[in-house]
Structure 1
Amino acid sequence: MAGLSNEQQENVWALWAKGESIRLIARTIGASQTPVRTLLRRHGGVKPPPRARNRRHLSLSEREEISRGLAAGLSCRVIAARLGRHHTSISREVAR
């Protein structure tokens, strides 16, 4: 969210959970009340769960392994077998 850093947002949620007022939260994190109020309103006053990458998406380390495999002259099927992925997932990544 624009206006508050990740650290400030975490502090907002921690202070809000303790029952602190918006005014005190804003003063504590060194921000105005508007972004604090906006953050709380956007999520209905309930801290959202942490974002997680979909397990079906390739991770950065898997992409690196694909790159290494291609540099070593391995086929998409061999790379896929090493990563435990379907070969079409690897070929689509290579095509990108």
Structure 2
Amino acid sequence: MKCRTRIYYSESQKALMWERWRAGESLQHIAELFNRNHSSVEGILAQTGGIQPAPRRRSRLALTLAEREEISTGLAAGDSIQSIARRLSRSPSTICREIKRNSGEKGYRASHADELAWERAHRPKVCKLVRHRVLARIVAHKLQLQWSPQQIAGWLKRSWPRDEDYHVSHKTIYRSLFIQARGALL
């Protein structure tokens, strides 16, 4: 059997896939454009149920790359957080969080910070109960004992007050139960 290395499609290649898919072309025909098997194209299209996702956009409230460059320049010049915030018409707490979140005052790099922010903003996020299987088993056990999601969420916070990995909101539990989001409790 022929084994190929994993391929990552660019955004323009994915756009072409969606365009051809909307035009009614077969998976095999679309895959031939990229010299790949139909299953690689099927994986891209199936991730969103065959419906093209909206293009990713940055929130108007999020810091831009230009603002991050200004933060980086200001830090290098020894400016205070308050003066940087005034220049950007942003809250000092926004600037402070941005710096702490991205390597601190000495290691802050605008391009790296922007890349990390873009990755953190990626939606949909993987459900916490999928990522943390021990937590999922604990929640499932409590549900079998007829505990409500609110009771479980409160109990987890009291039982593990310093361990954020064991904190989950009641909404996450409801979502996993009733919508079966990503099969979290299966």
Instruction: Normalising by structure 1, report the TM-score.
Output: 0.81
Partner residue in 2 for 1:30 = 35
Q: Could you tell me which runs of 5 or more consecutive residues in structure 1 were left unpaired when the two chains were aligned.
A: none
Q: Does the 8 A contact of 1:77 with 1:87 survive in 2?
A: yes
Map of 2:131 onto structure 1: none
Pick aligned residue for 1:88 from 90, 93, 112: 93
Give the counterpart of 1:11 among 11, 16, 21: 16
Give 1:67 deviation, angstroms.
Answer: 1.9
Task: Provide the aligned length of Structure 1 versus Structure 2.
Answer: 95
> Offset at 1:66?
1.1
Shift, 1:55, TM fit: 3.5
Alpha carbons of structure 1 residues 43 and 72: separation in structure 2 relative to 1, 3 Å? same
Report the Cα distance in structure 2 between the residues aligned to 1:93 and 1:4, rounded to whole angstroms.
30
CA contact (8 A) 1:4 1:35 kept: no
Q: Indicate the RMSD between aligned Cα atoms, in angstroms.
A: 1.9
Q: Is the 8 A contact 1:11 1:29 kept in 2?
A: no
Q: Which runs of 4+ in 1 moved over 4 A?
A: none
SS in 2 for 1:65: helix
Measure how far apart 1:87 and its partner are: 0.9
Residue pairs, 1:28-67, within 5 angstroms: 28-67=33-72
- State the identity as a percent: 41
Structure 1 position 89, deviation (Å):
1.0
Q: TM-score, normalised by structure 2?
A: 0.46
Instruction: Give deviations 1:56-89, integer Å, cap 9, x for gaps.
Output: 3322221221121223332211211111111111
Provide the residue aligned with 1:79 in structure 2.
84
Query: Is the alpha carbon distance of 1:47 and 1:82 closer, same or farther for their aligned partners in structure 2, counting shifts above 3 Å?
Result: same
Tell me which amino acid in the other structure corresponds to 2:73: R
Partner amino acid, structure 2, of 1:3: I
State which drifts further: 48-57 or 16-25. Answer: 48-57
Deviation of 1:37 after TM superposition, in Å, equals 1.2
In 2, Cα distance between the equivalents of 1:30 and 1:45? 21
